[in-house]
Structure 1
Amino acid sequence: MSWAGFAVVFAAFFLTHSIPVHPPIRTRLTGIFGTRGFTLGYSALSLAMLAFLIRAAGQAPYVQLWPQMPWQRHAVHLGMLAVCLILALSVGRPNPFSFGGSRNDRFDPARPGLIRWSRHPILLALIIWAGMHLVANGDLAHVILFGLLGSFAMAGRLLIDRRKRRDLGEDRWQTLDAARREAAVLPIPLFRAEVAGRMVIGLGLFVGLLWAHPHLIGVPAL
């Protein structure tokens, strides 16, 4: 694949991420497929385009910036284990500060879970994913790929904060954020069935990604 082809795939990735969530288009799609249908469809499209983009980076002209060392792969494994646990412990839980929250009216700032450390755990997972893969892939195409995606996730936190401040109102946002930061460091006991179940799911996701990596990305993870 040429650099031009890689650029086209990159442009398609961002278009498929931005166009469906444009308010008028999202409203129309939600009306057709329902909120759950839109969320599932958008998630499937996003993951498929991400896999396509990563494969395109692997097929772009190879320009080495730094060599890959064995310790880098181990760092990626540890980072991805953290990513999987973060996702499992945060997806589908109340989070009025970011996207991906569910039943936000039930959010308890005294027991915020991972939100105690980050208002945007899903974006944090994306930043760790991009950063760890950036370390282990020192060729130009992958540096562009993971560098831009990681930067996009970091910038996204500021954009979402701005939107949520507007939606919730500055006073309400500040009150919730202050209560979140004052919560106990470990606000959810690890022995709770829900937390234990989510951690098992996270471990299962990690194992599944190790298995699926060569099939989806074309490169073995181990």
Structure 2
Amino acid sequence: MLGGWGEFVAAFAVFFLSHSIPTRPAVKGALVARLGSRGFTLAYSVLSTAVLAWVIFAAARAPVVMLWPWDLWQNHVPLTVMALAVTIAVLAIGRPNPLSFGGAHNERFDPENPGLVGWVRHPLLVALALWAGSHLVPNGNLAHVILFVLFGGFALMGMKLIDRRQKRVLGAEEWARLCNTKRKVTPTLNGVVRLVLAGVVYMGLLHLHGPVFGVYPLP
């Protein structure tokens, strides 16, 4: 039992360290100088995905302590919410966003045409919060409750911390200018392609969820 919980705690510790150290301005600046902006984004994404997978598998291997029973209706919550979460993530990754993480070519960001950032300043953190909150409903065992509550809290707290850090890095005046975004929907070819890709990713997650995680989400 200690071994199961021990791995779970270790996985979470590595997750939080891997997300706090590389994003510190001095560390990130050195990494970007060595890897380039795109290289840093790619490396950070791969690291984040790998550590996230470890945390999820560690939760599955932790001792089972049920807090509430499972019911069929609960599966419909993540099935519905994850469609939105995936869409937000796919629309945001690799797009200019100097106000949060996960952006690329941030010098091209235009507050007059901010795209999704005009509606959601921290799209990847919003997607993470949606993922955590929706998956909490059908997973009533203690390890998964801890997992999804901490991830949801991490996403919500991260928004405030990133706002504070970017305001300091960019300067209060520039940060306020960039935050003064227009909220509008401007159809573009890139946006349409990303929406189609989001549908493909969502269907892929549905089909891979069972073989990879051992849980089949479709009722």
The structure-2 alpha-carbon separation of the partners of 1:177 and 1:102, relative to structure 1 and needing over 3 Å to count, comes to same
SS at match of 1:2: helix
Q: Do the aligned partners of 1:113 and 1:187 also contact (CA within 8 Å) in 2?
A: yes
Are residue 206 (structure 1) and residue 202 (structure 2) matched? Answer: yes
Are residue 88 (structure 1) and residue 103 (structure 2) matched? Answer: no
* Number of positions where the alignment pairs a residue of Structure 1 with one of Structure 2: 216
Q: Which runs of 5+ in 2 are unaligned?
A: none
* 2:154 corresponds to: 152
* 2:139 corresponds to: 137
Instruction: Give the C-alpha shift of residue 175 in structure 1.
Output: 2.7
Q: Aligned equivalents of 1:163 and 1:145: distance in 2?
A: 26
* 1:36 corresponds to: 38
The structure-2 alpha-carbon separation of the partners of 1:97 and 1:202, relative to structure 1 and needing over 3 Å to count, comes to same
Instruction: Give the C-alpha shift of residue 22 in structure 1.
Output: 4.5
Cα deviation digits, residues 146-165 of structure 1 (max 9, x gap): 10011011011111111111
Are residue 78 (structure 1) and residue 54 (structure 2) matched? Answer: no
The structure-2 alpha-carbon separation of the partners of 1:171 and 1:12, relative to structure 1 and needing over 3 Å to count, comes to closer
Which piece of structure 1 moves more, 13-22 or 196-205?
A: 13-22
The structure-2 alpha-carbon separation of the partners of 1:117 and 1:36, relative to structure 1 and needing over 3 Å to count, comes to closer
Percent identity, aligned pairs only?
49
Q: Aligned equivalents of 2:70 and 2:126: distance in 1?
A: 24
The structure-2 alpha-carbon separation of the partners of 1:8 and 1:44, relative to structure 1 and needing over 3 Å to count, comes to same
SS at match of 1:65: coil
Which piece of structure 1 moves more, 145-154 or 102-111?
A: 102-111
Q: Aligned equivalents of 2:34 and 2:179: distance in 1?
A: 35
* 1:63 corresponds to: 65
SS at match of 1:136: coil
Q: Aligned equivalents of 2:170 and 2:24: distance in 1?
A: 20
Q: Which runs of 5+ in 1 are unaligned?
A: none
TM-score by length of 2: 0.88
Give the partner amino acid of 2:134.
Answer: M
Please provide the CA RMSD for this pair: 2.0
Instruction: Give the C-alpha shift of residue 52 in structure 1.
Output: 1.4
Q: Aligned equivalents of 2:173 and 2:32: distance in 1?
A: 30
* 2:170 corresponds to: 168
Which piece of structure 1 moves more, 21-30 or 112-121?
A: 21-30
Instruction: Give the C-alpha shift of residue 35 in structure 1.
Output: 3.8
Are residue 220 (structure 1) and residue 213 (structure 2) matched? Answer: no
* 1:99 corresponds to: 101
Q: Aligned equivalents of 1:176 and 1:44: distance in 2?
A: 28
SS at match of 2:137: helix
Q: Aligned equivalents of 2:117 and 2:58: distance in 1?
A: 34
Q: Aligned equivalents of 2:83 and 2:68: distance in 1?
A: 24
Q: Aligned equivalents of 2:24 and 2:67: distance in 1?
A: 37
Q: Aligned equivalents of 1:36 and 1:110: distance in 2?
A: 24
Q: Which of 5, 8, 29 pairs up with 1:6?
A: 8
SS at match of 1:97: coil
Give the partner amino acid of 1:128.
Answer: L
